[in-house]
Amino acid sequence: MPPAAFANLWETIKDGRPWEGLVKNRSKNGNHYWVKANVTPITEKGVVTEYISIRTKPTREAVAEAERIYAEIRAGRGQQYGLLDGQIVRRGFGVWLGNLASSIAGRIVATTGLLLLTVMVLGWLSLTGSDSVEVFVGLMLFGLLVAGVGTLSVLGTVRRPLGLVETHLDAIARGDLMTNVPSSGVAEFARIRSQIRAVKAKLSYSIQERAERQRQAEEERITALQAMAETVEREASHAVEQVALRTGGMAQDADAMATSAERVSINAQNVAAAAEEALANAQTVAAATEELAASIREISAQIAHSSAVTRRAVENGQRTQGTIQSLSEAVGRIDEVVKLITDIASQTNLLALNATIEAARAGEAGKGFAVVAQEVKNLANQTARSTEEITRLIAEIQGVTSTAVGAVAEIGDTIGEIDQISSAIAAAMEEQAAATQEISRNVVETSNAAQEVSVRIAAVSSDADQTGSQASGVRAGSDEVATSIDELRRVLVRVVRTSTTDADRRRSPRYRVNEACIAVVHGRDQPGTLTDLSNGGAMLNGIAGLGVGDRGTLRLDRFGLTVAFEVRAIDKAAVHVRFAESDVAQPRFRDVFTQLTRGLQPVAA
């Protein structure tokens, strides 16, 4: 680029005029390239505030001409060339004269000059006295011809640039801002041409700016839509996880409720059996209580009778004691009689002894008396022995009688105690009878309560069975809800992603596949299943222990393919990965991808 071109650029734009010309630029790698540059000042209140720079690709012919002319200018042979508002123009008198002749002013001046010349000729002829009509008519006709030709020339000079202006304005109206605005060759329209170029530059800039703003707005809109889609997907996933968590808790509660209901049913059955057993026992106790009451009544009667007999025995004992006491007194009197008899026997024995003595004195006369005395003595001795025996017996009788009296007294005391005990037993039996009646009443109430408990427990068992059935229904319903919620999440994500292409982050179609794979992460091989595949990534199942951001390689041993990946998201048991672009671009990956997806239809979500 010659310095004169840049000088003309700065001179033009400083003057507030648009500049358009071919410029040779240098790229970052050192190569040069030509552009058709348009620099248009933007003025506000007569002051240039900024510049619009529009660059377009020039034609080969324009580049060749610019290179040739710029080379001549650099070589110092370009004096015949100049720059006007960036356009290469020729210099010289001939060029100036041609430009003047092609201008409106030049043609008006030429026409006016010819008309003035005609008028001057007519005036000169008048002054010389020439009155030839033919000459005057010829001059008049010449003047009219000059005026007509000049007028047509001026009109042509105006119409042709105006036609070009109209053509350019039509192109601008059609939105064609890339057409070149050549010079019309009329100097008066050079400013209009420059302004048309400025308008085209401003419109181009406005269109480009609007397109850039639209692009930015579109990017922002797409980003917002994708963010909204991600938010909806994330919130939906979170809501689904919460619902799944609540559903799982509800399922666990249903299981616990079913287990509790089963335990309640079992316990209710046990309680029912115990209640039935208690009812049977209560009925048995009631019967036993009735029998006990009857026995107590019988015992009370027997005790009452025994008490009466005891009282009679006490009375008889007392009478017996009196009789024995009388017997003891009689025995005492017998003892006295025995003592008397003993005394009599002793005296009789003394009398017999005296009679014997006297009979001995009497001799023969006294032998009979001696026999009688002997017999009396024997009788006295026998009486003495009998008396001794009687005394012994009486002593025994007295001892026995004393013992009997003591025994009878003790018997009386014992019978008295028995009577007291019988009275106490009778009172206790009366209390026992009352208690037994109370027990019988309580047993009856217990029996009724046990029967009521049995009925209620049967109802509880039925309710527990029904609760267990309902819990099973709730468990099945929670499973269905979990499945439906997961399906809702997929549908919601699919709807959000497919509602508009801008919200779909996945620019490549996805396919459902089922291929065994091995993920190598942190030096460990983890077998899994490739279930979702696209040109940009995949979804892996059955692989645990990975985190978002982890990097590794995916091996498909059946195809001998290895692809580097990065973990982008983790959803339940699924791991979402993105493939390395360098590996995706390899022909081997495309071949394997084609084999895996052949005959499959892409999925939306």
pTM of the model: 0.42
Tell me the domain boundaries of the chain: 1-91, 258-471, 506-597
* pLDDT at residue 1 greater than cutoff 60: yes
* pLDDT at residue 147 greater than cutoff 60: yes
The backbone region for 567, taken as left when phi is positive above 0, alpha when psi lies in -120 to 50, beta otherwise, is: beta
pLDDT (0 to 100) of residue 43: 78
Average pLDDT over residues 499-522: 77
Looking at domain 506-597, its CATH superfamily turns out to be predicted glycosyltransferase like domains (2.40.10.220)
* pLDDT at residue 186 greater than cutoff 80: no
* pLDDT at residue 503 greater than cutoff 60: no
Alpha carbon distances (Å) from 504 to 35, 216, 576: 39, 18, 16
pLDDT (0 to 100) of residue 129: 59
pLDDT (0 to 100) of residue 540: 92
Q: Identify the CA nearest to 181 among candidates 97, 82, 62.
A: 62
pLDDT per residue over 285-344, tens digit each? Answer: 667 667 766 766 776 677 677 667 667 766 766 776 676 677 667 667 766 766 777 777
Alpha carbon distances (Å) from 76 to 6, 10, 89, 385, 413: 17, 22, 16, 208, 174
CB atoms within 10 A of CB 485: 19
Residue 364 DSSP symbol: G
Sign of the C-alpha dihedral computed for residues 368, 374, 375 and 377 taken in this order: positive
* pLDDT at residue 123 greater than cutoff 70: no
Half-sphere exposure of 135 (CA within 13 A, CB side): 13
- Report the mean per-residue pLDDT for the chain: 72
* pLDDT at residue 449 greater than cutoff 90: no
Q: Identify the CA nearest to 34 among candidates 73, 7, 77, 69.
A: 69
Please, are residues 554 and 521 in contact by the beta-carbon 8 Å criterion? no
Average pLDDT over residues 456-480: 68
Question: pLDDT class for 516, splitting at 50, 70, 90?
Answer: very high
pLDDT (0 to 100) of residue 89: 61
Cross-strand bridge partners of residue 520: 525, 553
Give one DSSP letter per residue of 539-596, joined into a string.
EEES--S--TT-EEEEEETTTTEEEEEEEEEEETTEEEEEE-HHHHTSHHHHHHHHHH
CA pair distance 345, 551, nearest whole angstrom: 152
Which of 397-401's residues contact partners 24+ apart within 8 Å by CB, and which partners? 397/327, 397/331, 398/328, 398/331, 398/332, 398/335, 401/324, 401/327, 401/328, 401/331
The top-scoring range by mean pLDDT among 64-73, 162-171, 479-488 is 64-73
Q: What are phi and psi of 602, to 5 degrees?
A: -65, 150
The top-scoring range by mean pLDDT among 118-132, 217-231, 412-426, 537-551 is 537-551
pLDDT (0 to 100) of residue 431: 74
Structure tokens given for 229: 């889609």
Q: Could you give the strand order of the β-sheet that contains 19-26, starting from the edge strand earlier in sequence?
A: 19-26, 32-44, 47-56
pLDDT (0 to 100) of residue 266: 75
CA pair distance 32, 22, nearest whole angstrom: 13
Work out the burial of residue 3: count CB atoms within 10 Å of its CB; fewer than 13 is exposed, 13-18 middle, 19 or more buried. exposed
Structure tokens given for 59: 């034609």
The kind and range of the H/E element at 64 are helix 60-74
Q: Identify the CA nearest to 375 among candidates 393, 352, 358.
A: 352
Q: Pick the residue with more confidence: 405 or 413? A: 413
pLDDT (0 to 100) of residue 55: 79
Please, are residues 229 and 505 in contact by the beta-carbon 8 Å criterion? yes
Question: Which of these ranges, 9-18, 89-98, 199-208, has the smallest mean pLDDT?
Answer: 89-98
CATH class of 258-471: mainly alpha
Question: pLDDT class for 424, splitting at 50, 70, 90?
Answer: confident
Q: What is the dihedral of CA 333, 338, 343, 345, to 10 degrees?
A: 150
Average pLDDT over residues 367-381: 68
Average pLDDT over residues 3-9: 75
Question: pLDDT class for 598, splitting at 50, 70, 90?
Answer: very high
Q: Pick the residue with more confidence: 57 or 116? A: 57
pLDDT (0 to 100) of residue 520: 93
Per DSSP bridges, beta strands 574-579 and 19-26 are unpaired
CA pair distance 466, 420, nearest whole angstrom: 66
Per DSSP bridges, beta strands 561-571 and 87-90 are unpaired
Question: pLDDT class for 561, splitting at 50, 70, 90?
Answer: very high
Which CATH number is associated with domain 1-91? Answer: 3.30.450.20
* pLDDT at residue 538 greater than cutoff 80: yes
Give one DSSP letter per residue of 115-150, joined into a string.
HHHHHHHHHHHHHHT---HHHHHHHHHHHHHHHHHH
Look-up of token digits 């559903």: 247
Per DSSP bridges, beta strands 47-56 and 81-84 are unpaired
pLDDT per residue over 263-284, tens digit each? Answer: 766 766 676 676 677 667 666 7
Q: Pick the residue with more confidence: 248 or 182? A: 248
Average pLDDT over residues 68-86: 69
Question: pLDDT class for 168, splitting at 50, 70, 90?
Answer: low
Please, are residues 450 and 275 in contact by the beta-carbon 8 Å criterion? yes
